[in-house]
Amino acid sequence: MYQDYAKDFYGTLPLNQSQSRPRRERVQIASLNPNMDGQTVLLRARVQTSRAQGSKMVFLNLRQRTDSVQALLSVAPEKVSKQMAKWAAGLQIESIVLAEGVVKKAPEFIKSATVGDVELHLTKLHLISGLETILPFTVDDANRPEPAETEAEDVQFKRVLLDTRLNNRVVDLRTQTNQAVFRLQHAIGHLFREFLDGKGFTEIHSPKLQGAATESGASVFQVSYFKGKAFLAQSPQLAKQMAIAADFERVYEIGPVFRAEDSNTHRHMTEFIGLDLEMAIEEHYHEVMELLDGLFLHMFRSLKEKYSKEIETVRKQFPADEFKWRDGPEGTLKLSFREAVDLLVEDGVPREELDDIDTTNEKRLGRIVRAKYDTDYFIIDKFPMALRPFYTMPDPEDPTLSNSYDFFMRGEEILSGAQRIHDAKLLAEQMRGKGIDPASMSSYLDAFKLGCPPHGGGGIGLERVLMLFLKLNNIRRASLFPRDPKRLEP
């Protein structure tokens, strides 16, 4: 009977229960290069694609996160048998394998792999983890560029719809695009912390279960709490202000924010990550606004300098104009609400429609600013008091205006902030003016009755910044497992 001389070189490995630890070095695909020609390497990877050529040769594209390399298995006496080639050709796409082989300089650049100047000539191939169900779509299909609006629908490749992606998010997240998107999400959080740590801020953690609604009753989730009820925090607003009253001076928090708004738009979620900060001010609330501006500039510059590879990876699937900001001595563009309204009126929007700047006009303003000032990033200051929450400090000259600002990226708001009222009497007055009974928020009010320095801050939506920086066009693409009115799974 015919013996398979290669039987020890391939097959399914026993379930890893940490039986042994031979301590053999495994390499990363990203580190493979032509100088390693002739070296034998061991690596764990997924099979992204496989293609048999006759019965004697199999090509595999092996992937680790954003990197891939072409591997080749060809029948050779005493090394690779026909059975081994047949077994390798039958491996399901997305299987996890342990591959051993010799690095060879590629005869010509391999376009289908990110590491295209070498290929791996396999000597051993074992299956670590196979698939027990059918793949909903291939990672290759999910990584294709989004069709341009003008393209015909009958494109020869499969397109994977956003809903299908989100229903099978684990496979979707394996694409090189998504690996890069979430490295960039990590980077934004890291840069936020890095900048504020350098400015003497303390990171705090406030509770997400609250006894009263933070902002307004309508958009809050109610949860049962033993015999009573509680609410999910709509923002850490009250907690961070109380930390200022407790002499923390400068605080920030990165944590979930819950909004019970039934809005099914491209930019709303019912749970998102808030990057929040609050700080005492010495003389003027522009101290806060300028610090926030410095924070964004630090983020934008660092993303461009340190994460250009990830940005490029995302661009392949989501082509977009590079995000622009003003880096010269003139600094970030700052407009008053009144000036922003004037720009829109000049552009043909009736003034009477502009008590508030809605989403459509926000976008329009973004286009006007981009054309006129060549920037995607700008600040609007001095919003009308009527548009802001009760704890916003009124303007000293004109009580219909407030000491508040919004920051914009590509014509969409990414930060809202203001000087807060730190005087208990004025605060109670403003509450009544907005139809809130001060008694219902007594623990918040009490914080200011004991003396509190002037202070201000702002809140940033992490996913919104990521979506707009990369122009992903839908906030769900910037959230690992998004939550909206229609989605609580996976």
Q: Which residues are catalytic?
A: 259, 261, 267-268, 413, 416, 464
Q: Is 266 helix (H, G, I), strand (E, B) or coil?
A: coil
Q: Tell the residue number behind the tokens 């031979």, with chain if given.
A: 22
Q: Alpha-carbon distance 280 to 267, whole Å?
A: 31
SS3 117: coil
Contact 351, 341 (CB under 8 A): yes
Which residue type sits at 417?
G
Q: Which of 85, 57, 87, 79 is nearest to 5 (CA)?
A: 79
Q: Give the DSSP letter of residue 120.
A: E
Q: CA-to-CA distance for 449 and 446, rounded, in angstroms?
A: 5
Measure the CA–CA gap between 54 and 42, rounded to whole angstroms: 26
Contact call for residues 482 and 166 (beta carbons, < 8 A): yes
Rounded to whole angstroms, what are the CA distances from 226 to 87, 103, 289? 58, 63, 42
Token digits for 74? 């060809």
431 membership: H or E segment, kind and range: helix 424-433
